[in-house]
């Protein structure tokens, strides 16, 4: 009898230890990789969650990463209709003579905007960058002013542009954090132009040049973004990859070589995808609760969140999440769509990790006199018998 009891207890202890072991393994995350680079950052593009960071707000020369903003401004002009891909651009002497990486456009010729965009993005052409800058703003200096204004709009607080190319210039700088903001905006606002960043080759003037982003050949999930290099900036790479509905953005600045910037960027992406996941919990304007409204032309009101809710969590911890709705008390019409009427709180077992406004998903106008009176009477007796009536 004792032997059976002892065996049963041993089995229970082993089962408990096994369960504890599984839970511990699910929550263990190694320290983030330490890269041989001056500054770097890894974020979830959808949530903005920072997964790895080192010197991400240090102002550094961006080299040709500058061209991300050059193409962003041009994409904005195309989206607004002020610019067309079939517009022809006159190539100036300045554009033709611009040093560094080139698209090899010729002075005195005309080049399509569509070709210049590919020359900037795929070939990293300094000549193409100057040509499109002059076409849009009249001069490269004026275009740099537009770039700086756009940086302010995107919240890039530690960025300043002096030119459209990224060639060394005092006072021309940015940060890994600001580049991540720019990349996020580029992907979300101009997806059709962002797709150019994933193209491996572009030919112009019978000269075929490859995209310098080595990750496009090594990782099928990588679809951008941009390389950069000068003696002052070192070797830089902004990369982005999409796997299983999760998009990560990695920024590496000041690496020692072309190979190093690719290898170090791959370390960041591999770490992020292996140990984290993006959970898309609720859609924008999805009905989370329907409540009673008093004194309105409609009696029922749908509540939800104005924006889609996504969270970045450690892989394997989804089951630990729970959501609660803290809804305001008695609701009276009129109610306008977007009015905040409570809170959505998401917890992970240790505490609240996200709190968002719970808003009305529709307008409810105030009822007429007789329905309003009838609702007032009903509300009085409802509160009276439910014990919710206020003391008088």
pTM of the model: 0.86
Which pLDDT value is given to residue 329?
Answer: 81
pLDDT greater than 90 at residue 217: yes
Q: How many domains does the chain have?
A: 2
289 lies in the same domain as 356: yes
pLDDT greater than 60 at residue 12: no
133 lies in the same domain as 169: yes
pLDDT greater than 80 at residue 257: yes
pLDDT greater than 50 at residue 14: no
Question: For 258-286, what is the mean pLDDT?
Answer: 97
Structure confidence by residue, pLDDT tens digits, 99-129: 999 999 999 999 999 999 999 999 999 999 9
CA–CA separation, 275 and 270 (whole Å): 9
Pair type for strands 246-255 and 276-282: unpaired
Which candidate, 113, 102, 112, places its Cα nearest to that of 75? 113
Which pLDDT value is given to residue 293?
Answer: 86
213 lies in the same domain as 339: no
Structure confidence by residue, pLDDT tens digits, 52-99: 999 999 999 999 999 999 999 999 999 999 999 999 999 999 999 999
177 lies in the same domain as 291: no
Question: For 36-44, what is the mean pLDDT?
Answer: 97
264 lies in the same domain as 220: yes
246 lies in the same domain as 337: no
Residue 266 in domain? yes
Residue 391 in domain? no
272 lies in the same domain as 289: no
Residue 19 in domain? no
Of 242, 261, 277, the residue that ends a domain is: 277
Of 277, 311, 341, the residue that ends a domain is: 277
Of 277, 294, 326, the residue that ends a domain is: 277
**Confidence label for 5 from pLDDT (cuts 50, 70 and 90):** very low
172 lies in the same domain as 288: no
pLDDT greater than 60 at residue 206: yes
CA–CA separation, 381 and 39 (whole Å): 65
Contacts of 311 (CB under 8 A, 6+ apart): 47, 49, 278, 279, 281, 321, 346, 353, 354
CATH of the domain at 96: 3.40.710.10
341 lies in the same domain as 223: no
Beta-bridge partner residues of 378: none
Which pLDDT value is given to residue 375?
Answer: 55
228 lies in the same domain as 331: no
Q: 175: domain range?
A: 39-277
Residues annotated as catalytic are 64, 67, 124
**Confidence label for 391 from pLDDT (cuts 50, 70 and 90):** very low
Q: Are 132 and 91 in contact (CB under 8 A)?
A: no
Q: Which segment of 3-17, 120-134, 146-160, 289-303 scores lowest on mean pLDDT? A: 3-17
Q: Are 228 and 62 in contact (CB under 8 A)?
A: yes
247 lies in the same domain as 167: yes
Residue 24 in domain? no
CATH of the domain at 377: 2.60.410.10
């Amino acid at each position: 009898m004792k032997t059976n009891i002892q065996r049963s207890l041993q089995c229970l202890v082993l089962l408990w230890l096994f369960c504890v072991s599984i839970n511990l393994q699910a929550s263990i995350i190694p320290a983030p990789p330490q890269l041989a680079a001056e500054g770097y950052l890894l974020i979830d593009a959808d949530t903005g969650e920072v997964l790895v960071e080192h010197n991400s707000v240090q102002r550094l020369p961006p080299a040709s990463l500058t061209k991300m903003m050059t193409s962003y401004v041009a994409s904005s002009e195309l989206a607004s209709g002020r610019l067309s891909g079939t517009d022809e651009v006159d190539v100036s002497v300045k554009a033709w003579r611009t040093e560094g990486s080139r698209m090899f456009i010729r002075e005195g010729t005309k080049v399509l905007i569509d070709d210049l965009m590919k020359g900037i993005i795929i070939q990293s052409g300094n000549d193409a960058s100057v040509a499109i800058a002059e076409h849009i703003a009249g001069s490269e200096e004026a275009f740099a002013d537009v770039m700086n204004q756009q940086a302010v709009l995107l919240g890039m607080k530690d960025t300043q542009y002096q030119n459209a190319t990224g060639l060394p210039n005092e006072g021309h700088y940015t940060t890994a954090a600001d580049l991540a903001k720019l990349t996020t905006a580029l992907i979300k606002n101009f997806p059709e132009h962002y797709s150019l960043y994933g193209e491996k080759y572009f030919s112009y003037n019978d000269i075929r040049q490859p995209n310098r982003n080595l990750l496009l050949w090594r990782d099928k999930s990588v679809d951008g973004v941009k390389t950069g290099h000068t003696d002052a900036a070192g070797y830089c790479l902004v990369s982005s990859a999409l796997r299983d509905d999760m998009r990560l953005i990695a920024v590496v600045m000041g690496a020692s070589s072309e190979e190093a910037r690719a290898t170090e960027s791959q370390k960041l992406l591999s770490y992020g995808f292996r140990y984290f996941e993006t959970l898309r919990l609720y859609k924008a304007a999805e009905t989370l609760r329907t409540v009673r409204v008093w004194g309105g032309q409609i009696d029922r009101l749908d509540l939800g969140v104005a924006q889609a809710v996504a969270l970045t969590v450690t892989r394997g911890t989804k089951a630990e999440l729970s959501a609660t709705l803290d809804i305001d008390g008695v609701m009276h019409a009129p109610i306008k769509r977007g009015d905040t009427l409570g809170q959505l709180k998401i917890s992970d077992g240790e505490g609240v990790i996200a709190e968002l406004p719970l808003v009305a998903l529709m307008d409810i106008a105030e009822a007429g006199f007789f329905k309003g009176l009838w609702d007032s009477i009903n509300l009085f007796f409802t509160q009276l018998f439910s014990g919710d009536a206020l003391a008088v």
